[in-house]
Structure 1
Amino acid sequence: MRYVDLFSGCGGLSLGIERAGGRLEMAVEKSEMAARTFAHNLIFDAEDPRGWDDYLSKPLNYQSQHGLVVNELAVVLEDENLMSDLKDRELDLVVGGPPCQGFSLAGRRNPNDTRNELPWQYLDFIQQTAPAAVVIENVVGMDRKFPNSDSSPFNDLCTALEATPPGYLVQKVNVNAMHYGAPQHRPRLMLIAMRNDIASDLGLTVSSDTWNSAFLPLTEIPDLVPRPTVSFEERRTVRDAIWDLQDAEVHNSDGPQTYLEEMTDATRWGLKPVSSTEKANHVLRKHRVSTIERFAIYQSFASHGVDNRVIHRYSSADPSGARQVVQAAVHPSLYPIKTPSGNVVAATEDDLLSLLNRLRTKKHSQRVLRWDEPARTVVTLPDDYVHPSEARVLTVRELARLQGFPDAFTFLGKETTGALRRRLEVPQYSQVGNAVSPWLAYAVGTRISEVLSMSRRMPKSLCDQAAAKR
């Protein structure tokens, strides 16, 4: 299954497609940081910064021949020879996640609307290469309707893809990575399309509404939809994903093994086995004492069923109302309040008030992950989630496990970056948070491969009959 990955990021989508039998023809990614991680894991060793800098200096034709173009998609589209060559390869699949939140059909008539530029470039690539199948991935939210309109960016993009020559049958889906084996609640919108000639030959159909994934068992599933792989009872949790990465004095070898085997077996994912006993990207971040104390409160509240938004309400309250805020949230029977490890955080209400007063904060998005549930959606900032039992944020490797990246998949570049540089740089935490879960990508690639295989097995006489009816 020959495929191209546009806006490829660090490679989560490609990793899953490769496991499903995909063979990368070319990837395009403008971020040098994310592209370096992609190259290192899926194409060639990019760990040496000098070697990587040398690759970046190479011309477009060199990079395209080696499978990774580190540049804007517009640059690729302008190269007539490259586009002609890609069309001649008869691509099976083009995948990618162009930013689409502001996409509208009217955008092509307004060249000044930059929100539309990248999706239209993606569709231009489809038109010029005519792949058998297309996948467009994006965040939930782009299905919200425009003001004073019945349409949305998602529906407009679906309509545009359907009309893109040579024409496509398009299935709209809202798929959650946890239904496909990831230990994480991660909903994503996708358009999964098959070229009209193939869809007609096979008699494929799609649902008129967006199809929403769920745990097994399911009854009727549209033809192009990736098949969910787990039941509610089989869903994977934070414990499944990261129990073995706790402090060595805390964990033992009796934790769940099934997911761990998937994460430590590089060959299942087509990666080279890791020789080092140390986990790549598992570097504990350093926190101030006050931050560690605040995390301990979060964990204590979580273990007692107390909503940690009480900290935000306390920090916002005037001194006369602060005690009432705490009394309304924390029942007297919960004292002394302890961490999951048994350490006392506050023996009395006065102790808790004193502690909260000392640790006032304006950051209120932090949440403690629960061991026995799938994680919340992994994001690009490390500070939003607190470890279930250790007073710290999660490492890059722990978040990668929650996404479904095996341990042999190494993230390169700096770990984080400052707020002012976030528009320009894509460090490790952002690479993980921006990625498509490899588990979801594997399911998508598997379904497309199955459909394309049915097309190839279809007797020529039947294909001719189907063509004659069109």
Structure 2
Amino acid sequence: MQKSNQLRFIDVFAGCGGLSLGLLEAGCQGVFAIEKSPLAFLTLRHNLVDGTRHQFDWPEWLPKQSMTCEDLLANYHEQVTSLRGTIDLIVGGPPCQGFSTAGRRDPADPRNKMTEQYLSLVGLVQPRFLVIENVAGFDMRFENEKGLAELVANGKKTSYAQYVADRLRHMGYDVYPGIVNCADFGVPQMRHRYLMICERKEWKREGVDLLESLRLSSIDFRAERNLPTDRYVTTSEAISDLEIKGRSLVANVDSGVPGFFEATYPFDSGFTPYQVLMRTGSHVAPNSRRLANHKQSTIEYFKTVQKICRPGRCLSKEERELVGTKKHATTVLDPNTPSPTITTLPDDILHYDEPRILTARENARLQSFPDWFAFQGKYTTGGKQRKLECPRYTQIGNAVPPLLAEAIGNILVKLVKESKASGLNALNNSIGEF
């Protein structure tokens, strides 16, 4: 049963559920989530739709299966329209490859068109709030001419973010855009993301800037979770309890592939506040702790990289020449600072002390997924399948950090409560006049 102050949301381009998880932890109620990858949807459904800790209020007319936003609009247009007035929030991070500074940033990239489907859904449901999350490059101007016709405003080039914001304003929303650092909200990772937090104009309260409210909440948010407020959570504070040295190695079974091992999971004391937070609600060893089967030559190479590389920074040109690699993205973690941005490629980042890549669970820790959250499907994929499949490492790298999502949920839930309290006070005052 829905609580009177509960904020109901739809998650579009949901991935494995990082945004949904944070909103659920903030006390919101999920209605349904749209994700095209069967593997990512499997993880989301396992944990949040039919989970033991959280369950969506899933409508009977919608199958619990992976689908695209285009599928939803084409096959369930009438049912979606009927939700108007019952949904408070739509969240979604349309695929960002067309905007990322790591890519070509092509405005004609078909993945950019998925934002149009998001806007169509917004027009049908008309929720009070919207949250769009994307890479920081979402707000950078396109420099090539191809496909710019729809991105031209007053004869000048514009960013896709500005184009989307203008569309939303025309649809009746106040838009509060900007870049936030996930580390400000306790995530042990320097991950800068572009956010648009929007509210329908008829709900607007004077002096309330939703993005600024989020930023101002960061210190209290960390304090409430017993996390440091004068500095960021470091990499070692996040994953030191998952190191393999001094621990027995046992067969890994959750991947269904023989020949892999994982370190035993400690249940003793002495954990950092962040580790305590990630372990809350978990009473058994988490999954996704499979160790890579590195060749001895690879281990020796990693040891050399760890000796030469400046911790926390990508290998320089000179350092790459010293270790004999052309790979640009290799970074050795610095145990005393937050991690750099976690990507979908498991070999981009090396452990700060052990000659190996991180486990999927260690990446999940750096993304602020709690240990009870169990990832589903294969660990990795390769070749042409990389463009088609979404294995665990990809699910984790693409996700919105749940702690950031929880902070967003908190400010929206607070605003809804204040609005209802204000409305009740206004009603009482009007009654008192008679």
Q: TM-score, with normalisation over the residues of structure 2?
A: 0.78
Q: Name the counterpart of 1:239.
A: 236
Q: Which residue of 2 aligns with 1:298?
A: 305
Q: Is the 8 A contact 1:169 1:196 kept in 2?
A: yes
Amino acid at match of 2:331: R
**Partner residue in 1 for 2:206:** 203
Distance 1:308 1:100, change over 3 A: closer
SS of equivalent to 2:238: helix
Q: For structure 2, which runs of at least 5 residues remain unmatched after alignment? A: 1-6, 53-57, 100-107, 146-155, 223-227, 248-264, 430-434
2-side partners of 1:138 and 1:306: how far apart? 23
Aligned length: 374
Report if aligned partners of 1:183, 1:375 keep a CA contact under 8 Å in 2.
Answer: yes
Larger radius of gyration: 1
* 1:123-134 alignment, distance < 5 Å: 123-134=119-130
Distance (Å, rounded) in 1 between the aligned partners of 2:280 and 2:159: 42
Alignment correspondent of 1:3 = 9
2: CA distance between counterparts of 1:9 and 1:95? 12
**Match runs of 1:85-104 below 5 Å:** 85-88=82-85, 90-99=86-95
What secondary structure, in the 3-state scheme, does the structure 1 residue paired with 2:84 have? helix
Aligned to 1:342: none
Structure 1 residues 386 and 115 mapped into 2: Cα distance closer, same or farther (>3 Å)? closer
Instruction: Report the AA paired with residue 238 of structure 1.
Output: T
For residue 244 of structure 1, report the CA deviation from its aligned partner.
0.6
Match of 2:169 among 156, 162, 169: 162
Q: Distance in 2 between matches of 1:191 and 1:463?
A: 32
Shift of 1:151: 1.6
Distance 2:403 2:142 in 1: 32
Instruction: Please state if 1:445 is matched with 2:409.
Output: yes
Q: Which residue of 2 aligns with 1:394?
A: 358
Distance 2:417 2:312 in 1: 51
Change (3 A) 1:101 1:408: closer
Q: Which residue is 2:225 aligned to?
A: none
**Counterparts in 2 of 1:132 and 1:224: CA distance versus 1, 3 Å:** farther
Aligned residue in 2 for 1:55: none
> Is 1:137 the counterpart of 2:127 in the alignment?
no
Q: How does 1:37-436 map to 2 (within 5 A)?
A: 37-44=43-50, 62=60, 64=62, 68-78=64-74, 79-88=76-85, 90-99=86-95, 114-147=110-143, 149-164=156-171, 167-199=172-204, 202-206=205-209, 222-223=212-213, 227-228=217-218, 229-230=221-222, 233-249=230-246, 256-266=271-281, 273-274=282-283, 276=284, 278-302=285-309, 308-309=315-316, 313-314=320-321, 356=323, 360-436=324-400
Contact 1:13 1:441 in 2 (8 A): yes
Residue deviations 1:441-467, cap 9 Å, x none?
0111111111111111123685999xx
Secondary structure at the aligned position of 2:416 is classed as helix
Alpha-carbon deviation of 1:382? 0.3
Deviation at 1:72, TM superposition (A): 1.0
- Partners of 1:303 and 1:422 lie apart in 2 by 30
CA contact (8 A) 1:193 1:224 kept: no
- Residue identity opposite 1:14 in structure 2: S
Question: Which amino acid letter does the alignment assign opposite residue 171 of structure 1?
Answer: Y
CA distance in 1, matches of 2:428, 2:142: 43
Q: What RMSD in Å do the two structures reach over aligned CA positions?
A: 3.1
| Structure 1 residues 245 and 115: alpha-carbon distance in aligned structure 2, compared to 1, 3 A threshold | closer
1:270 corresponds to: none
* Aligned partner of residue 180 in structure 2, secondary structure: strand
Q: 1:131 and 1:307, CA in 2 relative to 1: closer, same or farther beyond 3 A?
A: closer
Cα distance in 1 between the residues matched to 2:51 and 2:313? 48
Secondary structure of the corresponding residue to residue 76 of structure 1: helix
Does the CA contact (< 8 Å) of 1:175 and 1:188 recur in 2?
A: yes
Q: Deviations over 1:146-194 (max 9, x none)?
A: 3383421111111111112xx1111002111100011111110010001
Structure 1: runs of 5 or more not aligned: 47-59, 104-111, 212-221, 267-272, 316-355, 466-470
| Residue matched to 2:32 | 26
Judge conservation of contact 1:101–1:142 (CA < 8 Å) in 2.
no
The TM-score, its normalising length taken from structure 1, stands at 0.73
Residue 120 of structure 1 aligns to a residue whose secondary structure is helix
Cα pair 2:237 2:272 within 8 Å, conserved: yes
In the alignment, residue 276 of structure 2 is paired with which amino acid?
A: E
